[in-house]
């Protein structure tokens, strides 16, 4: 499986990722690869994107426990997300991949296209209980590569005091028209409307996609009338003073900091801000992002997939499968997704999360309606499309182009 042609393909993928990345890969003395044997007492390597967890954390304890149950020792190495992708491609080129790889879901198609990952048919990972919309983020050309360990997505946080002072009932927000009407009332009451991230990076696309998809638009046609309506919605919010001009440069973090001042009615953000919301010092709630004509808009899924990279010794896959199955069984998923602030990828565990924490109901609803950025067989086409999309949003919000012209330019560039 580690042929010269495959190594050349991986090398090309590595070059593309390095060129596209804004981060510099850090040096590391650790390596991947397969040490030991497939029998009890061997060592299996696991790479993950969770450097925030040290050896005393519940996450690392779980990894070690799953290794013990599989009869092997786990050697875990952690990287930040961008560095992990680069290291993975380089390790594959050198024939030194980890046994188990936990990676951001949009990267799965890139690694699969480069021949780095095995399919679930090959590694025998059971994905039968996973929600189809979440599993789709790890599918490419009709094949599935790994299984999600959890998912996060976007919804609207709201400030109860601001809405009450403006006479707005959050349950009245059902679609774009009622949301815009609520923002008008908030502004009339002397408060600020909504904050979000429209920065010219993947964060900007991530935050815009619920509105784009919520209009009924498709990423294969950036210039459609529905797509224009989504960009126009945001542009009109800025023009009417319902959203601040700072959104043009806001990251999701700085957008949250604006909401945390207590002056804004709404903020578009994710489950990862729940802990900060509880510390904000004011009453808050959450509602799903509405689609243009009602219902919940599909928001993009965040979160990671647990995958099994290609190995020279295919006999290792059986143990890797046991490790992955342990990490993603119902009991462990509940604990892990609580630690990671994720919604579980299976209906069974989602129900347990809701029962334990009722405030997660909106987030479960959002995840159930969510969509993978590389879904619809976009795969490795997505990064180019996304770059054109965030550029179009920036052009429209800054006024350098009309929404229609900005999206027409984006579609032409994405099609080349």
Whether residue 333 is predicted with pLDDT greater than 80 in this model: the reply is yes
Q: What is the pTM of this model?
A: 0.85
What secondary structure does DSSP assign to 304-318, as a single string?
Answer: EEEE-B--S-GGGHH
Same domain, 147 and 164: no
Note whether 100 and 158 are same-domain residues. Answer: no
Query: 250-265: per-residue pLDDT in tens?
Result: 999 999 999 999 999 9
Nearest to 254 by CA among 302, 307, 207: 207
Q: CA distances (Å), 128 to each of 148, 289, 345, 347, in order? A: 12, 28, 11, 11
Quick check: is 341 in a domain? Answer: yes
pLDDT given for residue 164 in this prediction: 98
Neighbours of 302 (CB within 10 A): 23
At residue 336, the pLDDT reads 87
Query: What is the gyration radius of the CA atoms in the chain, in angstroms?
Result: 22
Q: What is the CATH number of the domain that holds 51?
A: 3.40.190.10
Structural domain harbouring 133? 4-20+35-151+302-366
C-alpha closest to that of 373 among 129, 206, 226: 206
Residue 322 located in a structural domain: yes
Do 62 and 193 fall within a single domain? no
pLDDT level of residue 315 (50, 70, 90 thresholds): very high
Where does 160-295 show beta strands of DSSP type E?
192-195, 264-270, 284-287
What is the structure's pLDDT at 415? Answer: 94
Residues 337 and 199 grouped into a single domain: no
For the segment 334-360, what is each residue's pLDDT rounded down to a tens digit?
998 988 889 999 999 999 999 999 989
**Strand residue runs (E) in 56-99:** 73-78
pLDDT of residue 32: 45
> Is residue 371 assigned to a domain?
no
Whether residues 104 and 203 share a domain: the answer is: no
**pLDDT reading at 24 higher than 60:** no
Choose among 107, 403, 395, 387: nearest CA to 219.
387
65-77 pLDDT, tens digit each: 999 999 999 999 9
Q: What sign does the CA torsion over 361, 364, 369, 373 have?
A: positive
Tell whether the model's pLDDT for residue 27 goes beyond 70.
Answer: no
Q: What is the pLDDT of residues 389-405, one digit of tens each?
A: 999 999 999 999 999 99
On whether residue 331 sits in a domain, the answer given is yes
| CA 146/CA 75 separation, integer angstroms | 20
Task: Give start and end residues of each alpha helix (H) in 98-201.
Answer: 107-113, 120-123, 132-135, 160-166, 176-188
Percent of the chain surpassing pLDDT 70: 90
Question: What pLDDT digit, counting tens, does each position of 180-235 carry?
Answer: 999 999 999 999 999 999 999 999 999 999 999 999 999 999 999 999 999 999 99
Residues 6+ apart with CB under 8 A from 82: 21, 22, 23, 25
Number of residues that make up the chain? 416
Whether 243 is covered by a domain: the verdict is yes
Helix (H, G, I), strand (E, B) or coil at 260: coil
In a domain, 30, yes or no: no
Same domain, 124 and 235: no
Asked if 74 and 208 sit in the same domain, the reply is no
Q: Are residues 280 and 309 in the same domain?
A: no
* pLDDT value, residue 33: 45
Do 13 and 130 share a domain, yes or no? Answer: yes
Least confident of 31-40, 216-225, 321-330: 31-40
Residue 140's SS3 state is strand
Tell me what pLDDT residue 359 has: 87
Counted domains in the chain? 2
Rounded (to 5) percent helix, strand, coil in the chain? 50, 15, 35
b/e for 317-345, b at 16 or more Cβ within 10 A?
Answer: bebbbbbbbbbbeeebbbebbbebbbbbb
Mind listing the pLDDT tens digit for each residue in 273-294? 998 999 999 999 999 999 999 9
Tell which residue, 167, 203, 289, has the closest CA to residue 22: 203
Q: Are residues 333 and 322 in the same domain?
A: yes
Between 160 and 8, where is the model more confident? 160
Q: What is the pLDDT of residues 354-387, one digit of tens each?
A: 999 998 999 999 999 999 999 988 989 999 999 9
Q: Locate 391 and state its tokens.
A: 């550029």
Model confidence at 40, pLDDT cuts 50, 70, 90, reads low
Predicted confidence at residue 17, as pLDDT, reads 43
Residue 28 covered by a domain? no
Separation between Cα atoms, residue 53 and residue 74, nearest integer Å = 15
Q: How far apart are CA 397 and CA 403, in angstroms?
A: 8
Same structural domain, 226 and 112: no
Q: What is the pLDDT of residue 158?
A: 98
- 162 and 211 in contact (C-beta within 8 Å)? no
In a domain, 236, yes or no: yes
Same domain, 167 and 260: yes
């Amino acid at each position: 499986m580690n042929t010269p042609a495959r190594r050349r393909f991986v090398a090309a993928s590595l070059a593309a990722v390095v060129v596209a990345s804004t981060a510099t890969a850090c040096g590391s003395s650790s390596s991947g690869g397969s040490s030991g044997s497939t029998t009890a007492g061997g060592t299996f390597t696991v790479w993950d994107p969770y450097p925030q967890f040290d050896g005393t954390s519940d996450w690392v304890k779980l990894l070690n426990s799953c290794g013990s149950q599989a009869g092997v020792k786990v050697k875990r190495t952690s990287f930040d997300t961008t560095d992990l992708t680069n290291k993975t491609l380089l390790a594959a080129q050198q024939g030194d991949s980890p046994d188990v790889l936990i990676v951001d879901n949009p990267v799965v198609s890139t690694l699969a296209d480069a021949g780095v990952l095995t399919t679930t048919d090959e590694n025998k990972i059971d994905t039968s209980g996973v929600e189809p919309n979440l599993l789709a983020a790890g599918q490419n050309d009709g094949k599935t590569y790994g299984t999600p360990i959890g998912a996060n997505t976007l919804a609207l946080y709201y400030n109860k005091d601001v809405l009450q002072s403006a006479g707005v009932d959050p349950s009245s927000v059902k679609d774009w028209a009622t949301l815009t009407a609520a923002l008008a009332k908030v502004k009339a009451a002397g408060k600020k409307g909504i904050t979000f991230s429209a920065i010219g990076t993947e964060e900007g696309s991530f935050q815009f996609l619920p509105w784009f998809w919520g209009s009924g638009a498709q990423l294969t046609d950036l210039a459609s009338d529905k797509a224009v309506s989504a960009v126009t919605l945001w542009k009109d919010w800025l023009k009417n003073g319902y959203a601040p001009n700072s959104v043009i440069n806001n990251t999701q973090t700085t957008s949250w900091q604006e909401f945390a001042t207590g002056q804004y009615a709404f903020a578009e953000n994710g489950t990862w801000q729940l802990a900060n919301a509880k510390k904000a010092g004011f009453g808050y709630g959450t509602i799903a992002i509405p689609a243009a004509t009602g219902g919940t808009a599909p928001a993009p899924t965040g979160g990671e997939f647990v995958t099994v990279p290609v190995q020279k010794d295919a006999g290792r896959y059986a143990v890797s499968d046991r490790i992955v199955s342990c990490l993603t069984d119902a009991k462990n998923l509940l604990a892990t997704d609580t630690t990671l602030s994720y919604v579980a990828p299976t209906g069974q565990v989602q129900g347990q999360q809701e029962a334990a924490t009722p405030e997660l109901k909106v987030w479960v609803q959002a995840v159930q309606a969510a969509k993978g950025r590389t879904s619809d067989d976009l795969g490795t086409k997505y990064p180019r499309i996304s770059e054109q999309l965030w550029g179009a949003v920036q052009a429209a919000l800054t006024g350098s182009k009309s929404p229609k012209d900005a999206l027409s330019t984006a579609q032409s560039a994405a099609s080349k």
